[in-house]
Chains A and B, each alone.
Chain A
Amino acid sequence: MNLIDIFSRQRKTSLISLGLMLMILPWIISHGFESGNSYLRAFDMALLFIMLSLGLNIVVGYAGMLDFGYIAFYAVGAYTYALLNSPHLQALLPAWMMYPPFIVSIILAAGIACVFGIMLGGPTLKLRGDYLAIVTLGFGQIVRIFLTNLDRPFNLTNGPQGINNIQRVHLFGLDLGRPVQILGITFEPVHLYYYLILFFCALIVVVSLRLQDSRIGRAWVAIREDEIAANAMGLNTRNIKLLAFAMGASFGGISGALFASLQGFVSPESFIMMESVMVLCMVVLGGMGNIPGVILGAIIVSITPEILRDVINPLQMALAGRKVVDPETLRMLIFGLVMIVIMLVRPEGLWPSSRRRAELKPQTKGIALQEKDDMQDAERNHD
């Protein structure tokens, strides 16, 4: 047996054990802790954020286009799902369009988000860096403002009140809104949703990995590295950049649709700019362009505030005997501080790709080679 076999076998075992761990995670959490179910909700949200940050990672991490309005695609996905699966538009839409099967809803949400991705990408192809960031920031705001104001002239989005009564997911004849008994074990809805979201999250991880190691993924990185050279190598940079926007947006759309189905309610408030910034933080903190890093970043950024919520109050009571600062304020303060420290100490992120590490922290080897070259150049000049 050669080394590669051993390696892949080890990988297989660790993948299987990771899978098992994720499968029993909800049981550990909901039985081990007092506020278990709220933690499980936090995990559901963390999984949604993993999908979002993997989508943004394609745009920012691979293709190198800074996007500050990414949450708009999450919103588009969520509203698409909500409109199709709630009584809100029943009077307007023909009956056959309402309450489509779950998978159809998800595909439609992904598809419409994808169209929005191309709508954003098309006009901004020539922009890059800060300028692109400004336009995408505006795009995110436009989508949110539309959602808030499209209750007139006819009521499409129900304005700031949002859409409620979104139907619970029905899958294979199973109603995910009710506890299910399988083999004597009771699965609460929050468990069922956890598995549903976990499935889609795993799917998106696999898709991300495969895109990364493909001709498309290489083309994205090449465009980020040097667009003119990429052009001269025969890459159709316009289409490839649009593809990055479209892929990123459709990941956001899927995540949004799952969010709407989990929540049962969507309103424009869930899609403020702060959320875009958070997703970008996850990508940057974890390590742009590296899938495990981005996943780590998403987990840390979405779970840490939840943990702090539970820690801060008892701590204040123990130290000062009363509530000194509002926990919500303190939570964000600590969180912000942690982010700043990490970015100062590890600008390449917690778990960067080797590429990004090389870029931000040139290895001594590279410098040595550079010096050698300089010496050679000096010798040449003497010739």
Chain B
Amino acid sequence: MTEALLEINGIHKRFGGLHALNDIALTINKGEIYGLIGPNGAGKTTLFNVLTGLYQPDEGKFTFNGRDLFRQKPYVVVESGIARTFQNIRLFANMSALENVMVGRHVRSKASVFGAILRPPSARKEEANIRIRAQELLDYVGIPQHAEELACNLSYGDQRRLEIARALATDPKLLALDEPAAGMNPKETEELKALMQKIRNDGVTILLIEHDVKLIMGLCDRIAVLDYGKKIAEGLPEAVKSNPRVIEAYLGVAPE
């Protein structure tokens, strides 16, 4: 299975004088777990924001599932099947866990203002389906017992899971996770790893930014390494690990 799902080419993004992304090219294939690593400030999150439409790239090509997404609005990107989570959790803190996931269904439901006010049978059915699907997703990520809890009252690990559930609610083809294991203990990380494998086995491609090298190496099919806005390596985990440029970027060069 080497059918390309996401293809970017020659992507540039500048913030004033800072060249945050410099000629980035990536291809993510259907069904793989693709890792993105790099030292702090390498441009990983910027690339993420470009891929999810929150930032508009300055130049380049961006196609997803056969659709041109260059400089498209976030809702178009989500609608075509890319969903994300955030590095520092961004849940709707004062909504219940269930409501958080229900918001994720927004893009896959249609009821207009008139539907909401007049409540024809189709709108009622849709609303009921949103609720059922949201509850299913809470089951799926393993926090069904917290459905009615406010998101801000959940524990840290459960908030991470809830964010994943909310992203899955948009029926993504590509799930982009920004450091999902940050701040987790080894047991939680193991559980997260299992969850990601389950998601992949259910047919969702995963793009993963992570600092936990052990997790990345054990989970990802392919890895790209960014440094100073440039891609310095790409390939199988083992090859990347022994790439001298990668070691240099992480550890610096030994003085002669």
Tell me the A residues contacting B by CB distance below 8 Å: 207, 210-211, 213-219, 221-222, 225-226, 228-236, 243, 247, 355-356, 358-359, 363, 365-366, 369, 372-373, 376-377, 379-380, 383
Contact = CB atoms under 8 A, between A and B. Distances in A.
A229 B90 contact: yes
A179 B102 CA distance: 52
B116 A234 contact: no
A219 B106 contact: yes
Given A218-B106, A369-B153, A210 B94 contact: no
Contact of A373 (B52, B91, B107, B156): B156
Contacts of B140: none
B2 interface: no
Interface of B: 52, 54, 73-75, 77-79, 83-84, 86, 90-95, 99, 102-107, 109, 111-113, 115-117, 119, 123, 126-127, 130, 150, 152-156, 166-167, 170, 183, 185-186
A83 B153 CA distance: 53
A359 B94 contact: yes
Nearest to A353: B94
A229 B91 contact: yes
Given A217-B116, A219-B103, 19 more contacts: A211-B116, A215-B105, A218-B103, A219-B106, A226-B91, A229-B86, A231-B74, A232-B74, A232-B84, A232-B90, A233-B103, A233-B170, A234-B78, A234-B104, A236-B75, A243-B113, A369-B153, A369-B155, A377-B156
B109 A231 contact: no
B116 A232 contact: no
A376 B185 contact: yes
A232 B54 contact: yes
A140 to B, nearest CB: 25
B117 A207 contact: yes
A226 B93 CA distance: 8
B93 to A, nearest CB: 6
A349 to B, nearest CB: 15
B174 to A, nearest CB: 13
9 contacts: A215-B102, A229-B86, A230-B103, A233-B106, A233-B170, A236-B75, A247-B113, A377-B183, A380-B185
Nearest to A206: B117
Contacts of A222: 92, 95, 103, 106
Nearest to B73: A236
Contact of A214 (B73, B86, B91, B127): B127
B167 to A, nearest CB: 8
Contact of B119 (A210, A226, A373): A210
B116 A216 contact: yes
Instruction: Please indicate which of the listed interface residues B75, B104, B105, B156 has the most CB atoms of chain A within 10 Å of its own CB.
Output: B75
A214 B166 contact: no
B127 A211 contact: no
Contacts of B54: 228, 231-232
Given A225-B95, A358-B94, A366-B153, A210 B116 contact: yes
A229 B73 CA distance: 14
Contacts of A379: 185
Q: Which 9 A-B pairs have the closest CB atoms?
A: A234-B78, A234-B107, A214-B116, A225-B92, A229-B90, A355-B94, A222-B103, A236-B75, A366-B153
A358 B152 contact: yes
A366 B153 CA distance: 5
A372 to B, nearest CB: 7
Contact of A231 (B75, B116, B123): B75
A383 B183 CA distance: 12
B103 A211 contact: no
A204 to B, nearest CB: 11
A81 B93 CA distance: 43
Given A233-B78, A380-B185, A373 B92 contact: no
A229 B107 CA distance: 13
Contacts of A228: 54, 90
